[in-house]
Amino acid sequence: MFSLMLITEIMARSGGGGSGGGDGGGGEIIALIGYFPSYYLGKLIKKLLPRTAELIVSATFAALCSIVLLIIGITGGLFGTWFMILVIIGIWAGWGAAFFGIMERLKKRQAAARQAISTAALQDSAWNEESLLAHARQTFLQYQYDWSTFNTASIQTYTSPRYMAHSSLLLSALRELGRTNVMAQVEIKNSLIVGVHDDADNARDSFEVAFEASALDQLVDSNNTIIIKDTKPFIEYWHFIRSGESWLLDSIVQHTQDLSTANHSLRQFAENNHMFYSLDMGWLLLPTKGVLMSRGKLGTSDINNHVVGTYNGRLVQLYTYTPVPGNKNNMSWLVLQVTLPKSYGGIITQPRKKIFSSTSVYQKPPKSYKKYEFEWNDFNKRYSVHATDADRLAAFELINPGFMAYLYDNDPNAGIEVADNVLYLYRYLGARTTTTVHAGEYEVMLTIALKAFKELQL
């Protein structure tokens, strides 16, 4: 079990839309001492020997090393034994990753894809494995560069209209955060065509390529400071669709995504509202402004079930936010986020704290926030309002009798926070899994947002 977790940690990609990963424990670090030599030695043996011989030679070598290390560990007492056992686990995890890794398992799909291409090529010259792979590799490298430089004009030339729109919105979200996701030193280690669909209607043709690659993946802020970086190798699946005699990139899926947890009701919600759904956004778009977001940490926190679109030219994002994934409480929030045209300082309007309630949305305001009350006593009993500046609060168009009456009458158990020029609507989800969040909850948030947008004249 440990070895499987270790392999997952080594192969997981934390940035560029993947799940955020926390720091490894001491045991994992020790195991890496055995993992890396075993993994790279295995890769070398694979190049020199046929399949049966490579397995026999590598397994024998790993077994001999394990025996020697275990003997050395025993002579060092309890600590020495524990240390060497972890190194031995690393050795076998590295061996398994080298000889039975993801790309190795994908070779069965590659064989089926090759057969499908051979059959399709009899009637259509567009089906040529070498040219398809060459096109896919070129697209892979070009997209990394264009993504890093916000070059949407270039992206538009080789992506489908749907994926172009989604990519453009994600880049806009990055730009609003004042960030750039720089992909440098990109290297394709392996690429396999693992899926082919040849249709009688050529417009429905498609193929899928699995890429094993590495890069210096950096998230950089507006001051050109590196916020976080990731150098772990990653595996992605790139899906291409046919457009006349050319092929267009239509989607990118991280191998680390568990597609079985995809929320189909949220995907349908996104389509119905002309928006786009992503299962796992990791921490790439994790905001840092505000009381709610202060719970999070880049590289650790997670954004999932991400939906992005526009309203009156404003970028709108809805997502589930888990500040500390894997924590025993695993508290999550449903958030709608939009950037406002001006700053209002810090404002929090939320239902009052409910004692012993497991569904309370209440966020404790910092000491720098002052409490404000209004002439409507019933509203004051149900909601609390805190702000950093009375003048900015007075200028905040949402704080008016009409909108307060709307909140009071509908009682959506949602809080509203403004941090500088970013507005968050948020609801507490507790420890619910991503699959239990229903589109109806997103609809409630979007309905509140549309009402708020009218008040704010967005």
Higher pLDDT, 330 or 391: 391
Instruction: Give the CA-trace dihedral at 222, 223, 227, 232, to 10 degrees.
Output: 80
| Pairing label, strands 206-221, 415-419 | unpaired
**How deeply is 115 buried, as exposed, middle or buried, from its count of CB atoms within 10 A (0-12, 13-18, 19+)?**
exposed
Q: 423 near 416, Cβ under 8 Å?
A: yes
Average pLDDT across the chain, whole number:
87
> What confidence score (pLDDT) does residue 110 get?
93
> What confidence score (pLDDT) does residue 53 get?
84
Q: What is the mean pLDDT of residues 446-451?
A: 92
Per-residue pLDDT tens for 144-184? 999 999 999 999 999 999 999 999 999 999 999 999 999 99
Confidence of residue 49 (pLDDT cuts 50, 70, 90): confident
| Pairing label, strands 383-387, 370-372 | antiparallel
Confidence of residue 5 (pLDDT cuts 50, 70, 90): very low
Q: 69 near 82, Cβ under 8 Å?
A: no
Could you tell me the maximum CA-CA distance found in the chain, to the nearest angstrom? Answer: 83
Name, in order, each residue with C-beta under 8 angstroms of 383's C-beta and a sequence gap of 6 or more.
349, 350, 351, 352, 404, 407, 408
> What confidence score (pLDDT) does residue 441 get?
93
Asked: is 127-257 a CATH 3.30.70.2190 domain? The reply is no
Confidence of residue 8 (pLDDT cuts 50, 70, 90): very low
Higher pLDDT, 98 or 258: 98
Q: Is the dihedral of CA 398, 402, 406, 408 positive or negative?
A: positive
Placement of tokens 């079985």 in the chain: 260
The answer, yes or no, to whether residue 353 has pLDDT greater than 90, is no
What residue spans of 127-221 are helical by DSSP H?
A: 129-149, 152-155, 161-176
Token output for 368 = 């720098």
CA 168, CA 155: separation in Å to the nearest integer?
9
> What confidence score (pLDDT) does residue 283 get?
85
Confidence of residue 46 (pLDDT cuts 50, 70, 90): confident
> What confidence score (pLDDT) does residue 13 get?
42
> What confidence score (pLDDT) does residue 411 get?
80
DSSP 8-state code for residue 375:
S
CA 319, CA 337: separation in Å to the nearest integer?
9
The structure's pTM equals: 0.80
Let me know the angle formed at the C-alpha of 147 by 192 and 341, rounded to the nearest 5 degrees. 145
> What confidence score (pLDDT) does residue 2 get?
38
The answer, yes or no, to whether residue 116 has pLDDT greater than 70, is yes
Residues forming beta bridges with residue 338, ordered by sequence position:
316, 423
Q: What is the mean pLDDT of residues 373-382?
A: 89
CA 421, CA 209: separation in Å to the nearest integer?
41
Query: Within a 13 Å sphere around the CA of 25, how many CA atoms are in the beta-carbon half?
Result: 5
> What confidence score (pLDDT) does residue 25 get?
54
Q: What is the mean pLDDT of residues 224-233?
A: 92
Placement of tokens 């420890």 in the chain: 431
The answer, yes or no, to whether residue 11 has pLDDT greater than 50, is no
Q: 411 near 302, Cβ under 8 Å?
A: no
Q: What is the mean pLDDT of residues 399-413?
A: 86
Per-residue pLDDT tens for 23-43? 445 677 888 888 888 888 887
Confidence of residue 434 (pLDDT cuts 50, 70, 90): low
> What confidence score (pLDDT) does residue 327 get?
66
